[in-house]
Amino acid sequence: MRTFFVFFSLLFTITTFSQTQVDSLLRLCEKSPDIQKTSIYLQLSRITIQDSALSNYYNRKAFQLAVANKQLPEQAKSVYYSAKICFTARDFTNAIRFYEKALPLYRQLNDTLNMTTCYSYIGISNFNMSKSKEAIASYIEGLKLSKNDPDYSAELLANIGLVHDVMDNFGEAISYYRKALKLNQSIRDTGSMAIDYDYLGISYSRLKMPDSSLVNYHKALYLFKKIGKNERYAVSLSNVAWVFQNYPDSLNKAINYFNMAWKKFQEIGWLHYEADIQHGIASALCKQGKYEEAVLLYKKSLQLAHQYKRELLLKKQIYQGLSEVYQKKGDYKKALDNHILFSQYNDSIIEKQKLEQIANLEKQYETEKKEIEIIRLNAQHELTNIQLSKNKQLKQLGFVTAALLLVLVIYMVMKYFEKLKSNELLEEKNRLIAQSEQELRLLNASKNKFFSIIAHDLKNPFHNVMGYSYLLSKDYNHFTEDERRKFAMDINQSTTNIFRLLQNLLDWSRSQTGRLTYTPGHIEFKLVLNKALSVLSPLAQQKNITIKSTYKENMQIFADPLMIETVLRNLINNSIKFTPENGSIEISAVQIDKEVKICVRDTGIGITEDDIQNLFRIDSKVKRKGTNEEDGSGLGLILCKEFVDKNNGKIWAERNQDEGTSFLFTVPVIPSLN
């Protein structure tokens, strides 16, 4: 939350609601229990905030209900709304009183954010009443609470700087602006950084340090332009022009900056700023000794100020400028006349401030008077509602008989629909039974597959290992070196097959029992493929099989790296198994729209169309030996399908036109929205 704080005033942004919405909420309130009425009255108070008396009335009712029902959060909100109503009406004294009442309630709720907000608005209220020390003290209390919120802390530090600026403590102001700037830089809040630089430019200018002022103004200009804050950019251009008037040799620069500012003001439609621009250029011309031109522009500026009904301060400054330029021309009569007008406008400003204070007191009195009238009218409204309620009860008696007949008809219709619903439930149960039967068949197939692997696919390689190791242990010296080497190679191949089978069994069992963690992320396809090839390349070399890969460098996919590596490892291993010696395997990856299609193509023995249809099913009987009589369980392809499905992809197989088989699967490039 950001509080937009300016030098002289701050107003809440008020949302206008139609009377229809108010009436709708009042009707809802009549039917609601007391515990819900609290929130409704608070909402009514919020949407009628333009009418402070009416808003106060609803807020008071909300507070009474919140106290009666012991609703502490609603009590705090009600007191806060009271403060907000007063603040909007510029009744800062009562605003502070209510904000201070809200603080202990928010403290009980441990709501540091709203406590910080209360301290912030207490500071703003004190500032608007010219109580600078009290404002700073409130901001500091807010800072203690907002230490974990750099955004809010930066805002409070900047507000403290503004107070010091108004007190002419420019050194202190600059120090606080810099602290705010440092925090905004840490959170990269470009808009707030631009405002901080702008404030620093103002303070350095008032401190008579034009060089430092220009440095900070130019930084502010760069950032305002970057984020498209054209209004602040135009004002800062005008401020820079005033700073250049401190340098006798830069008066033309000042005029140029005034013209640049006016061009920007025209673009955004702020034509009333022409009076300020002409006033600034007139001041620069006066310093250049071009008195006649300066007088003409001062008079034009004055005419525009009257045309656009600009504030008294600008007119006072214009008359002061005219007095000075006539004095330099030696026309002391006109200089005196304009000085008198300058003094009169200065007195008018002081008088206006006094009248505003009186007007605020009168407004407060009118608000209280209106609140009393609303209470009286509301009491009358409640009496009217009681009479209407009695009339309503009489009308209701006339509908009782018709209602009883209607209930009877509805009862018969409901019985009919209940019967229809029973039939639907029966059909749903039959569907669930059929679904359960299908799931049981899959579970039975999984059990058979598991026992088949244990009984056959693990047994055979273990027999090979046991047989060869037995022969070597009994008659090691009886065999030739070539025979022993062959035995060792066969043992190595058998143990490798056992390890791969056990790894697939472990992954499959973890998948079936829900213990397999799916942790997707953006990964480079090349890294996953290289890991799979590092394990399988020796097997391919044994059969003199060439492996080629084609894909775009730095290709990214969004998937679980371990799962995709397992899929690639199983598909490449299958291709090696079913590809004869001196064959080739080609691995390709290409991005199509928002997914990557990966293909493992071999020049192996191929596969029939019937077998392709059953490859990825747990209950399939597809099971073949490799070109070198390598065993296969069929579990690897089932595991591939499960892992590809988990990564929001698809997997399938195709017969090549010439020879061999292609296994293809897809993975997304970006996270799926499902």
| Residue 196 included in any domain | no
Do 508 and 523 belong to one domain?
A: no
User: Which backbone phi and psi does 342 adopt, to 5 degrees?
Assistant: -60, -45
SS3 string, 256-296, reads HHHHHHHHHHHHHCCHHHHHHHHHHHHHHHHHCCCHHHHHH
pLDDT at 636: 81
Going by C-alpha positions, the residue among 170, 166, 213, 222 that lies closest to residue 194 is 222
- Number of structural domains the chain divides into: 3
| Residue 96 included in any domain | no
Q: Which distant-in-sequence residues (6+ apart) come within 8 Å of 362 by Cβ?
A: none
Do 563 and 442 belong to one domain?
A: no
CA distance 624 to 637: 13
Number of Cβ atoms within 10 Å of the Cβ of 170: 19
Domain at 529, CATH number: 3.30.565.10
Going by C-alpha positions, the residue among 314, 337, 315 that lies closest to residue 324 is 337
pLDDT at 38: 86
Residue type, position 648, single letter: N
Query: Which single residue is written with the structure tokens 């190595």?
Result: 492
CA distance 162 to 139: 11
For residue 590, the enclosing domain spans 517-668
Going by C-alpha positions, the residue among 381, 270, 367, 315 that lies closest to residue 27 is 381
Going by C-alpha positions, the residue among 653, 323, 631 that lies closest to residue 497 is 631
Do 504 and 632 belong to one domain?
A: no
pLDDT at 136: 92
Q: Which residues pair with 559 in a beta bridge?
A: 521
Do 477 and 507 belong to one domain?
A: yes
The burial of 385, by beta-carbon neighbours within 10 Å (0-12 exposed, 13-18 middle, 19 or more buried), is given as: exposed
Do 597 and 654 belong to one domain?
A: yes
Do 458 and 501 touch, CB atoms closer than 8 A? yes
| Residue 480 included in any domain | yes
- Where the chain has pLDDT below 50, the residues are 1-18, 455-456
| Residue 508 included in any domain | yes
Query: For the range 371-375, what are the long-range contacts, defined as Cβ-Cβ under 8 Å and sequence gap of 24 or more?
Result: 371/53, 371/56, 371/57, 373/53, 374/53, 374/54, 374/57, 375/57
| Residue 638 included in any domain | yes
Do 647 and 530 belong to one domain?
A: yes
Do 440 and 573 belong to one domain?
A: no
Which pTM value belongs to this model?
A: 0.49
CA distance 23 to 373: 19
| Residue 510 included in any domain | yes
Do 522 and 633 belong to one domain?
A: yes
| Residue 607 included in any domain | yes
Do 405 and 493 belong to one domain?
A: no
| Residue 522 included in any domain | yes
Q: Mind listing the pLDDT tens digit for each residue in 320-354? A: 988 899 899 888 898 898 898 988 888 887 776 56
Do 566 and 602 belong to one domain?
A: yes
Do 521 and 659 belong to one domain?
A: yes
Do 419 and 484 belong to one domain?
A: no
Q: Mind listing the pLDDT tens digit for each residue in 201-257? A: 999 998 999 999 999 999 999 999 999 999 999 999 999 999 999 899 999 999 999
pLDDT at 509: 66
Query: Which single residue is written with the structure tokens 């009569």?
Result: 333
Query: 141-167 burial string, b = 16+ CB within 10 Å, else e?
Result: bbbebbeebbebbbbbbbbbbbbbbee
Query: For the range 378-383, what are the long-range contacts, defined as Cβ-Cβ under 8 Å and sequence gap of 24 or more?
Result: 378/57
pLDDT at 501: 61
CA distance 101 to 149: 24
Q: Which distant-in-sequence residues (6+ apart) come within 8 Å of 533 by Cβ?
A: 547, 549, 572
